[in-house]
Structure 1
Amino acid sequence: MTNPPQTNDAQSATPGTNGAGSVGLEAGVRAAVERGIPSTIADLSDLVRIPSVSWSAFDPENVAASATAVAALLEATGAFDGVSIAQAPIGDGPELGQPAILATRAARNGRPTVLLYAHHDVQPPGQDEDWDTSPFEPTVRGDRLYGRGAADDKAGVMAHVASIRALVEAHGPDFDLGLAVFIEGEEEFGSRSFANFLELNRDALAADVIVVADSDNWDLDTPALTVGLRGNVTFRLTVKTLGHASHSGMFGGAVPDAMLAMVRLLSTLHAPDGSVGVDGLTEHDGETPAYDEEQLRQEAALLDGVTPIGSGTILSRIWSKPSITVTGIDAPSVANASNTLAPSVAVRISARIAPGQRASDAYVAIERHLRDNAPFGAHIEIDDVDLGDPFLVDTSGWAVAEAKRAMADAWGTEPVEMGVGGSIPFIADLVRVFPGAQILVTGVEDPDSRAHSPNESLHLGVFKRAVLTEALLLSRLDRRTTE
């Protein structure tokens, strides 16, 4: 991991520009961000109040309302030639994906174009009793804002809005930087129309630099640029052993029930130390910074006596190796259990794929393993498959250097390059459609944000520094030519 030396504002001026003017502009950007933070947090709170869950079982009108609210925020900046709400087909069928927001501004005088991405949909809240406060009532406690989407990823949306506001205030409305903003509405439900949206809006979204504001920072005081993401393979696995339920007393001991077969089959997916035991899944050989078991225990909330799983450095297990998790199960509940042998059991499998392996190849390996290891001749079915490729960032470009310098100046601390165990599969689509664009994966979260979990929250200090980082980056790119 290498970090560029910190550069002062006067040195950051584009060749041919006035250094003193650069310092003045950046002072204006800082002041604009500072003044705008209260209204930015208020706007973020308004977005959190909209339960924009994109999953099919939830009311799509809430996602539509969220899209309308985000579009209004972008329109109000006065920065764009056009702001619209659009949808794209899912696959080859007639069904449309959830509404997304597209805002564009043409570059002038040889300046680059920056595409800013985030998503306005959120995960389901889960059980209300697991939350300390209502999930869709934003609540500030201490230095954190709690609520579903407060971090993932409505804070990413507002980081873009706030940085554009600061740019307009400091540079004036006639700045030269080209902007495209794409705020997706179904990232939490698999980005099913994402590829079609890119194809339909290819010209509007074309950019020199793409900023994806949907990742993490190293800690509360240290910014990070995400340079590696695992891919994902998710599907429903159903195991069947009987044509109908049978009495467990009359036939138990001779007849394998579906639960027994499922448990036996799932146990084959891991080695005794908990590492993945599926032939054909690969690992990525990458360096990792220091991170000890105590930090893991604190950030992951490991209970006393529970040991970590896997082998190698802890971060290599999270960033560079595959994992397989059972995230849900359909079976009789304990409250409704009867003395019967279950004929069928279904589970949801979520596998994370190491950088360097195609998700399709990983799926083939996992499917082969399951079919080869089905116990007692059990019948297995696999459906509802979703694939997303992993990604490694090319860190050699000028945009990465500019982003890391902006982070250092905004945070007062040199950034780190980090991997993330989670997945942002659509980045592979961005690279495919825009192969010449430089990708920057940034974030507003910290290790205690608890995205996707009860009591999701945003650290307001981290958020402010993330906004300032992006505002400084946009300000500097407005003074840079693409030549």
Structure 2
Amino acid sequence: MTPQQNLADAVRELMPRARADLAELVAFASVADPRQYPVEECEGAARWVADAFAAEGLRDVRLLDTPDGTQSVYGELPGPEGAPTVLLYSHYDVQPPLDEAAWTSPPFTLTERGGRWYGRGAADCKGNVLMHLTALRALRAVHGGAGDGAAGAGLPVGLKVVVEGSEERGTGGLERYAEAHPELLAADAVVIGDTGNFAPGLPTATASLRGSTTVEVSVSTLAGNLHSGQFGGAAPDALTALVRLLGTLHDEHGATTVAGLAADQRWDGVAYSEEQFRADAGVLDGVGLVGTGEVADRLWARPSVTVLGIDCPPVVGATASVQARARALVSLRVPPGVGARAAQDALVAHLEAAAPWGARVEVVRGGTGDPFRADTGGPAYAAMGAALREAYGREMVLAGEGGSIPLCNTLRRLYPRAELVLVGVEEPLTAIHGIDESVDPVELERMSLAEALFLRGYAAAWHAAR
């Protein structure tokens, strides 16, 4: 039996434990917003993660009190002299479950259904925490423990692990902590466990992330609401003005049209067929897609505007009134090659210039996160490609990701020579951030094996490239 087969068997035997552990971790409602869930839920999840990695032999495991009031978990294992260092990243905080009654099973109870494991955070990102843990457990099972540091776990590398507590909230706690302690996360390769395969069974590394920014736009037209029968038809309605203003952000095809922001870029990685996208996104029959160009261009290479919410009277209880004020929250996803602040400037200028009927517009800026593009030509990508090929029996492809992971640019700025490799269990069917989030245990098993193979094989690729 080859070492690869030993690892594959070890990972397979660990899957029942992975499911039990994921159930425990999902049970924490670790939404990093004390207005929605008690802070004790995040604190409990952080302690669980710290205890789990300490049990696998990591040293100096501790909770980092980050500047945004949340906690990140940190631990390390020293490697052989002259060996490269690998940092494993993930996060334990999760998105709120939205309408809990809309879930088929309770969001914070891991439930198996149709071969998948359902629960908030099952994929994003607690499933990736279990990917890291299962890989380390498999290496220990095959190589006999971690008594000699990383070498005792079959690792020819030094190892660091950090699991963040506020990635979903975007308050930047770990980024600011890393900036204040730049030696802490220094590594030669960083495995960002917060993305996933382009399709189930297709091993994928994420080569780029769109950045993001938000603005809150308010429209005012009247001193106060008016009777629509008495004044409607001449009095300027703020809600209608807001709708018309928001309509200027897209053309007749639904493509983003923010003045001064290019929207014709092309994606040069894996293709994304319209048929596959419609199935992945659950687009209703007869409803067309928005935008122009290839689907991958629209998702990964071009800006996109989404109206996240509008403050206006609900249908039930609405009165016959012309509205004096209305407000919306607008999100702008920013492709690589465009600075997030410059894109936000363009969005603000567009909104201020496009108001109909001289309506008064006020724009309040939200946070920004710059896009990220990985350098895929180094030894870490070569080692990950070989590991994924061994685990899946297929060649690794490169895809983009429409979301953002703010820590990536912080790590690149602090450690410009480090390679960032973005992988994980979050394939399209996981429905992250949505109702009935789930993880495919087959993906979790294969990705855990791939990570174990990477940790064992990266040092050779690193030494060969020097």
TM-score, normalising length from structure 2? Answer: 0.94
Q: Which residue of 2 aligns with 1:43?
A: 21
In structure 2, runs of 5+ residues without a counterpart are: none
Partner of 2:10, secondary structure, is helix
1:195-210 alignment runs, 5 A limit: 195-210=175-190
Q: Is the 8 A contact 1:282 1:357 kept in 2?
A: no
Q: Distance in 2 between matches of 1:193 and 1:380?
A: 32
Q: Percentage identity across aligned positions? A: 39
User: How many angstroms apart in 2 are the aligned matches of 1:53 and 1:338?
Assistant: 36
Aligned residue for 1:154?
126
Verify the 8 A CA contact 2:118 2:438 in the aligned structure 1.
yes
- In structure 1, the residue matched to 2:70 is 98
**Secondary structure in 2 aligned to 1:206?**
coil
Question: Is contact 2:220–2:238 with CA below 8 Å preserved after alignment?
Answer: yes
Give the CA deviation at 1:160: 0.9
**Match status 1:122 vs 2:94:** yes
Deviation digits for residues 43-80 of structure 1 (CA, Å, limit 9, x no counterpart)? 011111111111352222211111111111111101x2
1:223 aligned residue: 203
Deviations 1:145-166 (A, max 9, x none): 0010001100111111111122
Change (3 A) 1:454 1:428: same
Q: Paired residue for 2:280?
A: 299
| The 10-residue stretch of structure 1 (385-394 or 173-182) with the greater mean CA deviation from structure 2 | 173-182
1:8 aligns to what? none
Distance 1:427 1:56 in 2: 26
Structure 1 portions without partners, runs of 5+: 1-22, 90-95
Letter paired with 2:139: L
Q: Structure 1, residues 267-322: CA drift from partner, whole Å, max 9, x if none? A: 00011111011122234433243432221211111111110111111111111111
What residue identity is the alignment partner of 1:227?
Answer: A
Residues 6-405 of structure 1 aligned to structure 2 (within 5 Å): 24-58=2-36, 59-78=38-57, 80-89=58-67, 96-171=68-143, 172-173=145-146, 174=148, 175=151, 176-283=156-263, 284-383=265-364, 385-405=366-386
Q: Structure 1 432/481 Cα, relative in aligned 2: closer, same or farther at 3 Å?
A: closer
- Structure 1 CA distance, aligned partners of 2:301 and 2:34? 32
Q: Secondary structure at the match of 1:71?
A: helix
Change (3 A) 1:152 1:299: same
Give the distance between the partners of 1:481 and 1:317, measured in 2 at CA.
35
Shift of the 185–384 alpha-carbon distance from structure 1 to 2, 3 Å rule, reads farther
1:460 and 2:460 matched: no
Partners of 2:115 and 2:394 in 1: how far apart?
Answer: 20
Amino acid corresponding to residue 42 of structure 2 in structure 1: V
Q: Distance in 1 between matches of 2:461 and 2:302?
A: 39
Aligned partner (choices 405, 415, 418) of residue 437 of structure 1: 418
Q: Once the 2 structures are TM-superposed, how far is the Cα of residue 120 of structure 1 from its aligned partner?
A: 0.3
The structure-2 alpha-carbon separation of the partners of 1:480 and 1:323, relative to structure 1 and needing over 3 Å to count, comes to closer
Following TM superposition, the consecutive aligned residue runs of length 4 or more in structure 1 with deviations greater than 4 angstroms are 478-483
Using the alignment, how far apart are the partners of 2:450 and 2:46 within structure 1?
Answer: 25
Shift of the 273–73 alpha-carbon distance from structure 1 to 2, 3 Å rule, reads: same
Q: Give me the whole-angstrom Cα distance separating, in 2, the residues matched to 1:402 and 1:462.
A: 19
Give 3-state SS (helix, strand or coil) of 1:129's partner: helix
Rounded to whole Å, the distance in 1 between the matches of 2:255 and 2:365 is: 25
| Alpha-carbon distance between aligned partners in 1 of 2:357 and 2:343, rounded to the nearest angstrom | 25
Distance 1:480 1:262 in 2: 56
What CA distance in whole angstroms lies between the structure 1 residues aligned with 2:456 and 2:19? 22
**SS of the residue aligned with 1:161?**
helix
Q: Which amino acid aligns with 1:399?
A: A
Residue 16 (structure 1) aligns with: none
TM-score norm. by structure 1 comes to: 0.91
SS at match of 2:8: helix
1:4 equivalent in structure 2: none
Which residue identity does 1:49 align to in structure 2? A
Letter of the 1:358 counterpart: G
Change (3 A) 1:442 1:481: closer
Structure 2 match to 1:421: 402
User: What letter is aligned with 1:51?
Assistant: A
Distance 2:82 2:160 in 1: 16
How far 1:235 moved relative to its partner?
2.3
Shift of 1:201: 3.1
How many aligned positions are there? Answer: 454
Q: What's the CA shift string for 1:361-412, capped at 9, x where partnerless?
A: 1001111100010112222222251111111111110110100110010011
Structure 1 residue 24, shift from structure 2 partner: 4.8
Aligned residue type for 1:137? T
8 Å contact kept, 2:30–2:45: yes
Distance 1:56 1:243, change over 3 A: farther
